Structure 1
């Protein structure tokens, strides 16, 4: 099996999900007598809250190089928003970063989805590190919440979900957003915050929901077992 480096901490709740599910899914495929070699570097979430892009890029490059030196053969960033560093970091290291947008695009393509509503925090929704991959690499259309709903989504992610609070108010808000996206022509939903699948676990929505976390984890498992299946 290949050794995978995990950059986590934003938030640690999401990092736990990545670690647990990667081990669980690898075990389901090769048997529970073995588990993959994983190297975890947990970053202080305060770094992302500062919103200093240069500082964030430098930290992720530093951590990526440390994981590479420690023997990682690939890297997975255990959150959506930090993928903003991908274009800066990837050319400066010699191992691949598994991009969450590619994992999402492949799943949407397989499902025949053409227009996707993107939910998450404001940097994820308004940035291009996921939407540009879907639009340019897969020819899909991405839409985001409008007006005050954009700020409300950011509030729930940054002030509740990433701090381990999963309220009924947040759940109702996101279910309403799914209905609004459907009205605007979406035929699929991107749960673009690692904690959103936790919040909406067990919910049946009117549109297929693509949980970026789950798709990203599948990509990680395939990478780890590339030479063993």
Structure 2
């Protein structure tokens, strides 16, 4: 099997989900006695946020690439980020990385195209929602990305930093996110919503969202498992 290196800690809760899901899906594909070859290099999500807030993108890319280098030294043949915010420097990462990256953005776009979508909402950190690493490739594919308003973006970011990154999940916060999605459905006509922060599946799923979800963790894990078993 191909060995995968996961950039974890961005955040820790999603890293756990990635590891568990990859293990389970490899076993489903290859049998109960099969386990994937994985290494995890843990970064600090709050360091990533600090770099983004200060627009220190060279420092951010160096921070992530150092982790990728460690994974490559441990024998990883591909790397994958367990958080979407560092994709703000994806072009720099691709240029500096010693091994290929399995992109959550590319995987999510493939699924959106398969579903025939034309207008989707995007929830995530403020850096994910206000930068173009989702908007640009989706726009080129003819899919419009809609983001919440300024007040809603600030609310989402505050809940991600203060709660979800620490594994705190409350009904009140879930209701707040559902209200935002419902507004985007009614006002902007979104067909589905991208859960563009990898902690958002702690709160949201097809069962409680006003529109179906493009769950980046679920979609990304499938892409990672495809690469693992392809060898």
Deviation at 1:196, TM superposition (A): 1.0
TM-score normalised by the chain length of structure 1? 0.94
Secondary structure at 1:41's aligned position in 2?
strand
Please give the alpha-carbon distance, in whole angstroms, between the structure 1 residues aligned to 2:121 and 2:92: 26
> Match for 1:142 among 141, 145, 149?
145
Deviation at 1:85, TM superposition (A): 2.5
Over residues 195-228 of structure 1, what are the superposed CA-to-partner deviations in whole Å (9 max), with x where a residue is unaligned?
111112473433211111110111100011113x
Deviation at 1:76, TM superposition (A): 0.5
> Match for 1:167 among 154, 166, 170?
170
Contact 2:178 2:210 in 1 (8 A): no
Deviation at 1:133, TM superposition (A): 2.1
Secondary structure at 2:214's aligned position in 1?
strand
Please give the alpha-carbon distance, in whole angstroms, between the structure 2 residues aligned to 1:207 and 1:49: 28
Which has the higher mean CA deviation after the structures are superposed, 196-205 or 8-17?
Answer: 196-205
Superposed, 1:90-129 pairs within 5 Å as: 90-129=94-133
Secondary structure at 1:179's aligned position in 2?
helix
CA RMSD of aligned residues (A): 1.4
> Match for 1:221 among 212, 222, 225?
225
Superposed, 1:14-25 pairs within 5 Å as: 14-25=14-25
Over residues 136-155 of structure 1, what are the superposed CA-to-partner deviations in whole Å (9 max), with x where a residue is unaligned?
2x221001001311111111
The answer for the alignment partner of 1:64 in structure 2 is: 68
Contact 1:86 1:97 in 2 (8 A): no
Over residues 153-188 of structure 1, what are the superposed CA-to-partner deviations in whole Å (9 max), with x where a residue is unaligned?
111111111111111121011111111111211111
Aligned residues, how many? 226
Please give the alpha-carbon distance, in whole angstroms, between the structure 2 residues aligned to 1:150 and 1:202: 21
Please give the alpha-carbon distance, in whole angstroms, between the structure 2 residues aligned to 1:91 and 1:195: 27
Contact 2:205 2:212 in 1 (8 A): no
1:6 aligns with 2:41: no
The answer for the alignment partner of 1:151 in structure 2 is: 154
Please give the alpha-carbon distance, in whole angstroms, between the structure 2 residues aligned to 1:143 and 1:154: 16
Secondary structure at 1:34's aligned position in 2?
coil
Over residues 73-101 of structure 1, what are the superposed CA-to-partner deviations in whole Å (9 max), with x where a residue is unaligned?
10000011112232101122342111111
1:205 aligns with 2:209: yes
Over residues 44-95 of structure 1, what are the superposed CA-to-partner deviations in whole Å (9 max), with x where a residue is unaligned?
2331132232221111111112212221110000011112232101122342
Contact 2:8 2:42 in 1 (8 A): yes
Task: Provide structure 1 residue ranges, at least 5 long, that are not aligned to the other structure.
Answer: none
Please give the alpha-carbon distance, in whole angstroms, between the structure 1 residues aligned to 2:145 and 2:204: 21
Contact 2:80 2:101 in 1 (8 A): yes
TM-score normalised by the chain length of structure 2? 0.93
The answer for the alignment partner of 1:74 in structure 2 is: 78
